[in-house]
Amino acid sequence: MKRGYWRKLPKDKLQKIVLICIVTLVTLVGTVQFYALKNWSALTDTKAQIAKLDDQIRESERKTRQAEQDVAHRAEVKSFVETERAAMITGDPFAWVVREISLLAEQEPVHMVGLHPAGKIDMKSGSPSYSTRIEFSGTYDQIGAYVRDLENRFPTSEIQSLAVTGGPDDKGRHEAALDITLRVQPTHASEKQEAKKTS
């Protein structure tokens, strides 16, 4: 529209147009202020809540993974303890030592000469133990392999001494004497009470 058009309009009509423009502008600003900004604020709050929930989900997932690892670790520890306990003396120490040492010797190339359990349980250390002397013969390699297998079979045991003797005419076979201390499986309080009841 040309400038002259506005000058030709009557003053009251021009005031009405200006008033309509002002009211429209105020309405538009009000709409933006109360609707758009309010929604923007709600959107910002929603984004903050989503971020917070996302953090909580990640933390829950981390705790779940940690719990799964703890369960797996406990299972490993339990398996390890059970394996260690299985390699400890239970029941009659003399019979246990004779049976277990003989079973191991059957799988080895050494020749078992004698087995002399000490016949007593040492209670001085933190866990009870039972000593025995094993006499056997074989080549150096066979003796070394047998000692290694003995330590692997009974990981809680302690070899106290190992003596290997032989002469020039023994054809590579040597006599060996090994003193070993084997751990005795601790008796639980409930087992002790049962033993008292039966006696």
Would you say residue 170 lies in a domain?
A: yes
In a domain, 138, yes or no: yes
Classified as helix, coil or strand, 169 is: coil
Q: Could you tell me if 33 and 109 lie in one domain?
A: no
What region, left, alpha or beta, does residue 172 occupy, with left being phi > 0 and alpha being psi -120 to 50 degrees? left
pLDDT of residue 154: 85
Output phi, psi for 115, to 5 deg: -135, 120
Instruction: Please say if the pLDDT value at position 193 is more than 50.
Output: no
- The whole-number pLDDT of residue 76 equals 77
Question: 179 lies in which domain range?
Answer: 93-190
Classify burial at 98, counting beta carbons within 10 Å of its beta carbon; exposed 0-12, middle 13-18, buried 19 or more. middle
Last residue of one domain, picked from the residues 86, 120, 142: 86
The sign of the dihedral angle between the CA atoms of 19, 24, 28, 31 is positive
Same domain, 164 and 102: yes
List pLDDT tens digits, range 100-109. 888 888 888 8
Domain-embedded: residue 81: yes
Place of tokens 């209670």: 123
Confidence of residue 121 (pLDDT cuts 50, 70, 90): low
Residue 79 and residue 47 share a domain: yes
Q: Highest mean pLDDT range out of 43-52, 111-120, 143-152? A: 143-152
Q: Do residues 131 and 63 share a domain?
A: no
Question: Are 123 and 146 found together in one domain?
Answer: yes
* Residue-wise pLDDT tens digits, 27-80: 777 776 667 666 777 778 788 888 888 888 888 888 888 888 877 777 777 776
pTM over 0.85: no
CA distance 136 to 175: 6
CA distance 45 to 68: 34
Residue 93 to residue 174: CA distance in whole angstroms? 29
Most confident of 95-99, 168-172, 194-198: 95-99
The H or E element that residue 125 is part of is none
C-beta of residue 137 within 8 angstroms of C-beta of residue 71: no
Residues 48 and 24 in one domain: yes
Among 67, 86, 105, the domain-final residue is: 86
Are 118 and 154 members of one domain? yes
Q: Residue 124: is its pLDDT beyond 70?
A: no
Per 3-state DSSP, the chain is made up of helix, strand and coil in percentages (nearest 5) of 60, 20, 20
* 5-15 as b/e: b if 16+ CB within 10 A: eeeeeeeeeee
- Is residue 16 a part of any domain in this protein? yes
Number of domains in the chain: 2
Q: Which tokens is 126 given? A: 């933190």
